[in-house]
Amino acid sequence: MPEDAGITGFQLFLRTIPYNLYAILTLVMVLYICISNFDFGLMKKHERNAANGDLFTSGAEEFENVAQDEISSKGKVIDLVLPVLVLIGSAVGAMIYTGYLGGADNVVDAFAGCDAEISLICATLITVIFMLILYIPRGVVSFKSYASSLPEGFKLMVPAVTILIFAWTLKGITDALGLAELVGSVVDANTSASFIIPAIMFAVAIFLAFSTGTSWGTFAILVPIVVPMFAGQNMEMMIISVSAVLAGAVCGDHISPISDTTVMSSAGAQCNHINHVSTQMQYAAVVAIVCVFGYLFAGLVKVWWLSTGVSIIALLIVLTIMKKINADKPEDAGKNTEAVNA
């Protein structure tokens, strides 16, 4: 964080949570759909076909010869949950410890001033050793399988590390060119139009995350550009803009066909990947459109509870209208029956 920002990185993160409209509105939409049993678009077609016995609609052939993974009879749910809890606990503990070593005198300052790199490395090593002690003596996995999984894990991290390297390189270039100062001066010269910055950054973050398939890489690229725009001048607009970047990056990662989370979701559920992307994209698009309106409104009023409340109401109105329009359409039962029989 710039020295003149007037806020620490951890405090900034906490204050962006109420403005993270995509996450909040997505949860609201999920509850609405579950309670009202409302589907639309391609998802409605897939749900209807699944109810009639066609679980895949298309792309079922890729799962015909899929072999079932061997499952250890000695494995338990605790073998999955406990290492995650140890990782989180050791990471939090290491962050607090390094923060106090840096001169902090309370927990909040310790988090804000921690050495994240050292903390995460220590937490990873502690968790790896803990899993070795947890799995090997009980025979959950063999030592050979455990050891071979380590390089495989490193391979999975190569794309993420590469994206971060490029993001840091881009940040260095933008700092050297003074891009943040240039954008900040433009915003200062056009303060009346600065309320559109959060909506613009939300859209840019969606495009970047969708194209790269990573939300974290998008954070690393856009947050260092957004923060200096308002640092030391308009803290609330800085918080809203950073939150818009976080929300847009998550949205783009959510609908990206090359995102690791999207690929893992479709693979874990054994559904056709393109079907998974195309069905969830329509739902995410509804939330994203309402978010653009929400960030325009937030840029005007700069009050989190009012912005979030109006956005939730707008989403509920949109979904109610869509449900009514969808209910008024006649069901094309003949085509669906033909599709199932085909």
Run means of pLDDT, 10 residues per run, the chain, 342 residues: 68 90 95 89 77 64 51 76 93 91 83 83 93 89 86 76 71 72 63 80 91 81 81 84 94 86 73 81 93 94 93 95 78 46 45
pLDDT value at residue 339: 44
Q: Please write down the long-range contacts of 193-196, taking CB distance under 8 Å and 24 or more positions apart.
A: 194/234, 194/237, 194/299, 195/296, 195/299, 195/300, 196/296, 196/299
User: What's the sign of the alpha-carbon dihedral 213, 217, 219, 225?
Assistant: negative
Burial class (CB in 10 A: 0-12, 13-18, 19+), 103: exposed
pLDDT value at residue 340: 43
Distances (CA, A) of 291 to 14, 24, 148, 279, 319: 19, 10, 44, 19, 14
- Beta strand ranges found along 44-165 (DSSP E): none
Contact between residue 272 and residue 55 where contact means Cβ atoms under 8 Å apart: no
Residue type for position 146: Y
- CA 100/CA 92 separation, integer angstroms: 12
